[in-house]
Structure 1
Amino acid sequence: MRNRWGILAILFVVRLTIAFQFQSVAAVAPLLQQSFGVGLADIGILIGLYFTPGIVLALPGGAIGRTLGDKPTTIAALLLMTAGSLVMATTDVWGWQMAGRLTSGAGGVLLTVQLTKMGTDWFAGKEIATAMAIFVNSWPAGVAISLLVLPAIGTAYGAGAVFLAAGALTAIGILLIMFYQPPPGATASATGSGRLDRLALLAVIVAGMIWGLYNVGFAMIFSFGPSLLAERGWSIAAAGSAISVVMWLSVISVPAGGYLADRFKRPLILAIAASLTVAALLAWLTRSDAVITILVLIGLVGGHPAGPIMSLAARVLAPETRAIGMGVFYTLFYAAMMLGPAVAGRLAKTAGTAAAALDLGALAVLACPPLMWLFERIVSVRKRRAQS
């Protein structure tokens, strides 16, 4: 297949498997607490473990993809994800649950870095914000599907069936990725120097921090939102369905944000305004009974910064530095996403309520606008030095 939008569709569906698998723990957290006798802090650690391998694998993951090639790397990653789900589905020992989660996470890391690089290869310089918005939209789509499907599976058949469903979906991803083809000239362009200059490296680091913090804030909604609603007397299925509203509306707001960024050439203003709004809504959610109204507003606004943020790294990465640059970008992202749920779970345990986790999410999103300003400053300095 050589049509870039068709390629994007393949990447979208394959990346969706990561979100579906990641959410498999949070979607049935109350069931896991009952089955294994663990608390919210333990659930937070298990959620965060999915991203732990990213701290050590994201950076070499870019180099691995550069050495082995796009398709072999993605297939290996999907095999790891499938194996991890099978381990979690077949054990009743908490330690093996953690081991399976780490294995799945290792595959998810490699797959995320490689798919992002593959998407950027096809769209660098042409509708990049729109393409990246559609690409990252696979995450809320996968989470939304999991919130609707997995609680019902877990209630009917147990947590093991939930993890089997996640493994089956990643196995389907292996079949889909067989249809991927690199863009013309991609192989030749990737053979140049892979070294990042100092300012480009700094810009990618800041971009990774922005993406990590924003996702920490957003992850608090679907990681601890169901537990927050359960505290208020909602059933597991009802809580999952309510939280899924955010994800389903994000399916609309994420590409809309990318389109608006490309159309009006004001991605920074759009991302800052949306971030401030989401931070306020997260803080409001823990202090109000207007749950559905707030969740709808978060869904309509929360997706807008995704495309602009994901396109930041592409602004300073050449084709030959793209693999290593995306590795750096995702190292920061995974560090934030590993620590965020674990810290949030600990705060929730100390406070005695999941509301503390969502308040932490509001603070994480609030930190993004200053970092966006810093990124623009670094890019401006880099341009001036290149012209002098």
Structure 2
Amino acid sequence: MVDRLASVLADFPIRSPCMERDTVAATRTTRVRYLMLFLVFVGTVINYVDRANLSVAAPLLKHEFGLGPVEIGVLFSAYAWTYVIANIPGGWVVDRFGSRAMYALAVLVWSAFTLAQGFAGRFATIFGLRLGVGVAEAPTFPVNNRVVSIWFTQRERGTATSVYLVGQYIGMAALTPALFWVAHAFGWRAIFWATGAVGIVWAGVWYLLYRDPEQCSWVSEAELAYIRNGGALVGSNQAGAAKAQPQKFPWRKLATVFRNRQIIAICMGKFASLSSLYFFLTWFPSYLITERHMTVLKAGGMTAVPFIAASIGVVAGGTLSDFLLRRGASVGAARKTPIITGLLLVPTMTLSLLTDSNAVVIAIMSFAFFAQGVASASWSLIGDIAPKSMIGITGGAVNFAGNLSGIVTPIAIGFILRETGSFGWALGLISVFAVMGALAYTFLLGEVKRIDIGDEAVADLPGAASRPGAERHEATPSTQD
């Protein structure tokens, strides 16, 4: 069914300026990769707003449906149940059918599920629709990782990754106050109607504008040469090649990837980082309303502040990583430094237990979320180690493990609240996860190098040379898994 839908969408006869490269684009210097990055950024904003809109609605709908903290925690986690399961096949369909068709289809489907939540009349209905959102969103971060990997040089990849990752936080910072106002003025159902409608429109915009580098008429030969020579995986995993030579799901190669110590370490670190993120995406508004006794509208405004801080953290982490790489640091040192530093600073959130001032609490939480943003640079690390013909599926595998925290964290906090009536132990749990993640990156990850699955030539990573400014880069693969 997925094969048929993706194939039809990929062949649909809509033309855009990116269908065939023209002679003008071939003779001028372009920066088309930044347009493609902007498209990914906006898609990520919509993605995370549709993940987190339930946290805005929860303080209102729990009274209508008579839900306790454990039930709310289960509802928060519903999205992650199917999201983690669908991540690996989601990454595989991205490798097979490409970014354009699969992302458009994913946005369309999850937005339809989001809009339908506004018509739900009971707990079970919302729970089922959240499961649907989780399935449909599974290909999105493998797409994001793939787009950055094929459009950007390795020395730009950390910054480019931070730009689309910042969409996770910018969207919530800018739109959470608006969503609280919508809920206050029109009721919680209007939140889902508005966010779902926006996503449906964006699915069409993405499909009309996005293309891979070698299929885009806007990109010049000069820009193509620049990104290819800089280590971008131009020409890898093209959907057309996959359709011409259908492939079975690569179970054996995936098992090889999962056994790799680099992947195990990143999975542990991703779980730790996303645990704190899921706290802010799910329980944080309720924390401000129930624990800090803020009004709905004030909580909406205050929720935005930590997300702004996290946005700054994401950009700082990616920029620092690329700066270290340009100054001659190894790929491992450049990628791991901001991640480990950020994770070790996340436990500062427990300092909020020592004050009664809401202003101080917001400042502490903002700093902790800033640190989580710095630690989110692991996606650029995945781009550095994933087998070149398995970028999507490797990203899906790591996202699978990391987003298990989306199941564990909300439910665990729900049980903690039921038993203790306070968020104190919840903040302690998130802090323990963060320290464990930092230890995994420090002692388990080891040398950063691309995984060799035995059937593709792998050159040294740029930046891994002992001398600054080394010009080595990976060869573009000509085969398709």
Aligned partner of 2:343 among 275, 281, 286: 275
Q: Residues 140-188 of structure 1: CA distance to partner in whole angstroms, max 9, x if unpaired?
A: 1122233211111111111110111120121132123121111238684
The structure richer in helix per residue is 1
Structure 2 distance, partners of 1:296, 1:284, is 12
1:149/1:227 CA distance change after superposition, 3 Å:
same
Structure 2 distance, partners of 1:169, 1:124, is 32
Are the counterparts in 1 of residues 142 and 391 from structure 2 also a CA contact under 8 Å?
Answer: no
Residue in 2 that maps onto 1:153: 182
Residue in 2 that maps onto 1:354: 423
Q: Residues 343-380 of structure 1: CA distance to partner in whole angstroms, max 9, x if unpaired?
A: 22222222112333332222221211111124432647
Q: Once superposed, what is the RMSD of the aligned Cα atoms?
A: 2.6
Residue in 1 that maps onto 2:26: none
AA aligned to 1:268 is K
Are the counterparts in 2 of residues 14 and 176 from structure 1 also a CA contact under 8 Å?
Answer: no
Residue in 1 that maps onto 2:93: 64
Residue in 2 that maps onto 1:284: 351
Aligned partner of 2:173 among 140, 144, 147: 144
Residue in 2 that maps onto 1:370: 439
Report which of the two structures shows the higher radius of gyration computed on alpha carbons: 2
1:173 aligned counterpart, secondary structure: helix
1:329 deviates by 1.2
Identity of aligned residues (%): 21
1:220/1:41 CA distance change after superposition, 3 Å:
same
Q: Are 1:243 and 2:303 an aligned pair?
A: yes
1:69/1:272 CA distance change after superposition, 3 Å:
closer
1:241/1:355 CA distance change after superposition, 3 Å:
farther
1:320 aligned counterpart, secondary structure: coil
1:97/1:381 CA distance change after superposition, 3 Å:
closer
Q: Residues 273-302 of structure 1: CA distance to partner in whole angstroms, max 9, x if unpaired?
A: 2221121x2111233232132134235433
Are the counterparts in 1 of residues 311 and 370 from structure 2 also a CA contact under 8 Å?
Answer: no
1:382/1:166 CA distance change after superposition, 3 Å:
closer
Q: Are 1:305 and 2:305 an aligned pair?
A: no
Are the counterparts in 1 of residues 386 and 451 from structure 2 also a CA contact under 8 Å?
Answer: no
1:26 deviates by 0.7
Structure 2 distance, partners of 1:372, 1:174, is 36
Unaligned runs of 5+ in 1: none
AA aligned to 1:160 is R
1:244 deviates by 1.4
Are the counterparts in 2 of residues 73 and 110 from structure 1 also a CA contact under 8 Å?
Answer: yes
Residue in 2 that maps onto 1:336: 405
Q: How does 1:191-202 map to 2 (within 5 A)?
A: 195=253, 197=256, 201-202=260-261
Are the counterparts in 1 of residues 276 and 372 from structure 2 also a CA contact under 8 Å?
Answer: no
Residue in 2 that maps onto 1:261: 321
Are the counterparts in 2 of residues 216 and 336 from structure 1 also a CA contact under 8 Å?
Answer: yes
Q: How does 1:143-182 map to 2 (within 5 A)?
A: 143-178=172-207, 179-182=209-212
1:203 deviates by 1.9
The alignment covers a number of residue pairs equal to 384
1:200 deviates by 7.3
Structure 2 distance, partners of 1:170, 1:205, is 34
Residue in 2 that maps onto 1:218: 277
Unaligned runs of 5+ in 2: 1-17, 19-30, 216-232, 326-333, 453-457, 460-481
